[in-house]
Amino acid sequence: MLTALLCALLASDVAPGDSSCGLARTNEPALRALAAAATPDQLEAARRAWVRDDPIVRLFFASRLAVLSPGLAADNALIDSLPTREQDVALMYTFTYGCTAPESIVLFGGGAWIQQARDAVIRQGTGVRAFLMLSWLYRSNADIGEFLPEDTDAIRRARPKQYSRALKNLPADARAIILGGRELLPRQ
């Protein structure tokens, strides 16, 4: 994550819409409006202004909600918004370089929302499988992927039954990544 932040700081003079910046391939006005919101009411007003549904915007809304108004609604929004497509996590990561964007968008692209989601999963006891799938989705991103084992281990320790159940229901390749290349033992 530190590498992502350094890249973002070094490349902050690139104009919005630059081809290396993924903001132009998302609902950039919605992301910027959410980033500008300073209160839960402003955040809700920005959410109501969305023209089309976008999984990245939905996740950014949930992440901002967790900052501005933590609680059950924010936890559920984060859990419900966990990414399911590799192209979305790859696109979010491009926000960390080549973009002139608010700091909250750059940090979001660098994975700041992952710890919020981990904590929400632990508090609510739901979304464990979706969270574990992040290890597979981020498998080719060393900057973010290196921190996911610690997050999944925190879930394993806090919610062992849900973790075991979710792990068993993952595809074999995702399960192998989480287990560090080891296959599940027959009795796990």
Task: Supply the pLDDT for residue 131.
Answer: 97
- Tokens representing residue 107 in the block: 């940090």
- Rounded-to-integer distance, Cα 146 and Cα 153, Å: 12
- CA pseudo-torsion sign 80, 84, 86, 88: negative
Cα–Cα distance measured from residue 181 to residue 173, given in angstroms and rounded to the nearest whole number: 9
Q: CA-CA distance, 11 to 98, in Å (whole number)? A: 5
Q: What is the pTM of this model?
A: 0.83
Residues in the chain, pLDDT under 50: 1-19, 182-188
pLDDT at 26: 86
pLDDT at residue 20 in the model: 56
pLDDT for residue 121 = 98
Asked if residues 166 and 128 have their Cβ atoms less than 8 Å apart, the reply is: yes
